[in-house]
Structure 1
Amino acid sequence: MNPETLPRAELAGLHVEVVESPNADLVGVAGRVVDETTNTLLVAAGSGTTMVPKSAATFRFHVDDTRVVVEGWRLVARPARRTEQTGDTIWR
């Protein structure tokens, strides 16, 4: 998985960390993605869950031993629609 293919992947269950955001309180939030809406990711950390706006953050996803950094604006879409976007996939 790489920055080009990750936006078309299912994000629920992936480990994520917020690496940049205009809201300093969100930088460093890390945990598992437990839910996703058009504009937000719900991240479960040890002390609870945090809702992070996609468009206002840069995320680092941990997939196996790979770290993929994605600008949040690339993830803004309904999850089902985002995973159907045109690209180099054998499923379209």
Structure 2
Amino acid sequence: MALTPATLTRHELIGLPVRVAAASNPDLVGIDGDVVAETTRTLSIESDSGRVRKVPKADATFEFSLPTGETVTVEGDVLVERPARRTERTGDSKWR
């Protein structure tokens, strides 16, 4: 499955550049870097300085940068699910 704005929420997020555009906790807004880990409820984002911050998915809005240069805004509520379960919903998963 190709990574496009339409398929981003069903794609592997680790390795993608991301920025927290909005969050219920104002201290989290503006965090940017690469996604280095994902759990059911959090994204771990590593900044250029090497610091890793965990951001709750449900309480934030994320802006992902695709390799094509496009920026995709995603409400974190859409991402709240086990990563393996979220990515297998494409219909063509051999792991289903």
Asked if 1:78 corresponds to 2:90, the answer is: no
| 1:42-90 Cα deviation digits (max 9, x unpaired) | 000023000000000000000021100000000000000000125xx6x
Q: How many residues align?
A: 88
RMSD, aligned CA: 1.2
The Cα shift of 1:22 comes to 1.0
1:21 and 1:29 mapped to 2: Cα distance?
10
Corresponding residue for residue 46 of structure 2: 44
Q: Which amino acid aligns with 1:68?
A: V
2:87 and 2:48 mapped to 1: Cα distance?
28
Asked if 1:26 corresponds to 2:28, the answer is: yes
Secondary structure of 1:83 counterpart: helix
Structure 2 segments unaligned to the other structure (5+ residues): none
Structure 1 segments unaligned to the other structure (5+ residues): none
Q: After TM superposition, what 4+ stretches of structure 1 lie above 6 angstroms from structure 2?
A: none
| 1:7-63 Cα deviation digits (max 9, x unpaired) | 100000000000000100000000000000000000000230000000000000000
Corresponding residue for residue 17 of structure 2: 15
2:25 and 2:82 mapped to 1: Cα distance?
23
Q: Which amino acid aligns with 1:82?
A: R
Q: Percent identity?
A: 50
What TM-score results when the alignment is normalised by the length of structure 2?
A: 0.86
1:54 and 1:19 mapped to 2: Cα distance?
12
Q: Which amino acid aligns with 1:17?
A: R
Secondary structure of 1:38 counterpart: coil
